[in-house]
Structure 1
Amino acid sequence: MKNIPTLYEWAGGKEVLEGLTKLFYEKVLQDDLLYPVFKNMSAEHTRHVAHFIAEVFGGPALYTQGDSGSHAKMVAHHIGKLLTEEQRQRWIHLLLQSADELKLANDPEFRSALVAYLEWGTRIAVINSNLTDNPLQPEAPMPKWGWGEPGGPYQSEE
């Protein structure tokens, strides 16, 4: 495969990611473990999270430019929340459940990259949730996530 798509492109782009986070946060608000953490989220929260993921996955700068966010601002939202390992695991479970329901790309390479990112990001969120100050400078770069190994989506040998 000569032109390997970004994870953003392979997932289906902005509308797909916005649909994913919308469905996901509907589940979160019905979940006894996660509801207390998210009950006061803004009306724009689901879109901001979709745009953050889009940008991290190689899409346009929807979060940093369109939503006026930054990696440091995303981290700041977690400071002092005291998230637990159980909440982290439930968050991932509900997001992957939502991805399955929406029939988000489910080839092994994409799912591996998605799960790896969710594991990495949620573990950092838990660490930051136990801090009192943001460890990132305002100009900290956005994370960028790619395919990992072997690189690119699964393609049959045909």
Structure 2
Amino acid sequence: MTTPTIYEWAGGADAFDRLTRIFYGHVHKDPLLAPVFADAADDHPHRVAQFLAEVFGGPAEYSERRGGHDEMARHHLGRRITEEQRRRWVALLMDAADEAGLPTDPEFRAVFAYYVEWGTRMAIVYSGDDPPPTDGPMPTWDWGRTPPWVPPGK
């Protein structure tokens, strides 16, 4: 028996699109996060869904169409994301995972939460005064793995 990827376990592209549609519906109503995403393109939820899908073992659509890790990291440059905003983003995403019907088993939720925590903390690093180079590899997350990439000097 082959172990499914996290992407497959979550339900594939439809699950990640559903997740990000629900999530950004809440973000745009949230007084702390709505201003951060006020100018986001209409397809922003789909772009984030593609990124998350790729991170979790799905197709490399984000890298092929959007530029991969480098492009995602550059979107955070100079944004000065606060810890309060990061925590709210995490809370809303985890709530959206429930609402979207993503798997609730402890193994899936643990690895999902692990990436969300790591990724949002990296967003703070990139949004700060001294960001590392953006040209790192695309993060890939799998069952029970450690972070795939650490910025130089961090």
User: Please, what TM-score do these two structures have when normalized by structure 2?
Assistant: 0.90
Structure 1 CA distance, aligned partners of 2:21 and 2:138? 22
- 1:41 is displaced (CA, Å) by 0.3
- 1:69 is displaced (CA, Å) by 2.3
Q: Summarize the Cα distance change of 1:133–1:148 in structure 2 as closer, same or farther, 3 Å threshold.
A: closer
Deviations 1:88-107 (A, max 9, x none): 00001001101111221110
Structure 1 letter corresponding to 2:21: K
Structure 2 letter corresponding to 1:19: R
Q: How many residues align?
A: 145
- Asked if structure 2 preserves the Cα contact closer than 8 Å seen for 1:71 and 1:142, the reply is yes
How high is the sequence identity, in percent, across the aligned residues?
49
Q: Which residue of 2 aligns with 1:39?
A: 38
Does residue 143 (structure 1) correspond to residue 106 (structure 2)? The answer is no
- 1:131 is displaced (CA, Å) by 3.5
Structure 2 letter corresponding to 1:146: D
Structure 1 CA distance, aligned partners of 2:98 and 2:56? 18
Does residue 87 (structure 1) correspond to residue 85 (structure 2)? The answer is yes
Which range is displaced more, 128-137 or 22-31? 128-137
Q: Unpaired segments of 5 or more residues in structure 2? A: 146-154
How does 1:23-38 map onto structure 2 within 5 Å? 23-38=22-37
Structure 2 letter corresponding to 1:108: P
Q: Which residue of 1 aligns with 2:68?
A: 70
- 1:133 is displaced (CA, Å) by 5.7
User: Please, what TM-score do these two structures have when normalized by structure 1?
Assistant: 0.88
Structure with max Cα Rg: 1
- 1:134 is displaced (CA, Å) by 5.8
Runs of 4+ more than 3 Å apart:
131-134
